[in-house]
Amino acid sequence: MTGRLKGKTAIIVGAGQTPGETIGNGRAMAILFAREGAQVLCVDRVAERAEETVAMIVAEGGKATAFTANVTSAADCDAMIQTGKARLGRIDILVNNVGIGGGDGPAHRVEEAAFDRILSVNLKGMWLTIKAAIPVMREQGGGAIVNISSLAGIAGGNQVAYEVSKAAVNRLTTSVAQSNAAKGVRCNAIMPGLMDTPMAVAGIAQASGQEQEAVRAARNARVPLGGKMGDAWDTAYAALFLASDEADFITGVILPVDGGMGSRIG
């Protein structure tokens, strides 16, 4: 590794992952950031999942600790940031990678409870985390926030709650970037397209009753670049760039990482 985050500290929210045969975005980002020299606080709603990620990092000689939080709780978000500051000394990087689906559908079919749950986690949870982190970053003279959005924020797929939540994440990103630029706090977002992650492939297979390989093949066929989905490492390397000093003049950017799907959609 090149030490692109040497001396940096990072909080990765959603650093665990649902079980699966591939790696998820949060875990990949936590591992990559540690490989590049950052001290990492791995946050997840499920303690064991965060601790698994920490164990992977420590096994490679990296520095990481775990913290358990539910991002829909303002108290948990405040505790997460204060714990990060106490353990790490400062908070150079915050990555927001929490997102859910389930029970979604077109606007005339989705249940109110599902709509509220998805918006609460995907949007409100990200706002609460950012709200808790910004005072610390402003006081220390800067920081980098990376939000994980989705191509669904600009491309319809009959999942109205998820799509609306991710479109709102994009606007949250630009709003935070604008209102904190003078204090040196940058905020950017990544819009992954079709990715081969446990939440995506295994989740769709389970919900649809299909075999995972059938789901994977159908998703691969939709990707313009090479006819193959990306993976969590593609998201992780994009986040690494946006979090690093290489991007110190970049804020308010919504970066597609999608194998060309966004350019096809227009």
Q: Which helix (H) or strand (E) segment is 10 a member of? A: strand 9-13
Secondary structure of residue 111 in the 3-state scheme: coil
Q: Locate the domains of the chain by residue range.
A: 9-192+234-251, 194-229
How far is it, in rounded angstroms, from Cα 209 to Cα 233?
A: 27
Contact assessment for residue 75 and residue 68, using Cβ atoms and an 8 Å cutoff? no
Q: Which sequence positions are flagged as catalytic?
A: 162
Nearest-5° Cα angle at 235, 104 to 63:
115
Superfamily of domain 9-192+234-251 in CATH is NAD(P)-binding Rossmann-like Domain (3.40.50.720)
Global pTM reads 0.96
User: Digits of tens for pLDDT over the chain (266 positions)?
Assistant: 689 999 999 999 999 988 877 899 999 999 999 999 999 999 999 999 999 999 999 999 999 999 999 999 999 999 999 999 999 999 999 999 999 988 999 999 999 999 999 999 999 999 999 999 999 999 999 999 999 999 999 987 789 999 999 999 999 999 999 999 999 999 999 999 999 998 888 778 777 788 889 999 999 999 999 999 999 999 999 999 999 999 999 999 999 999 999 988 65
Contact assessment for residue 128 and residue 72, using Cβ atoms and an 8 Å cutoff? yes
The count of residues in the chain is 266
Nearest to 40 by CA among 68, 76, 13, 4: 13
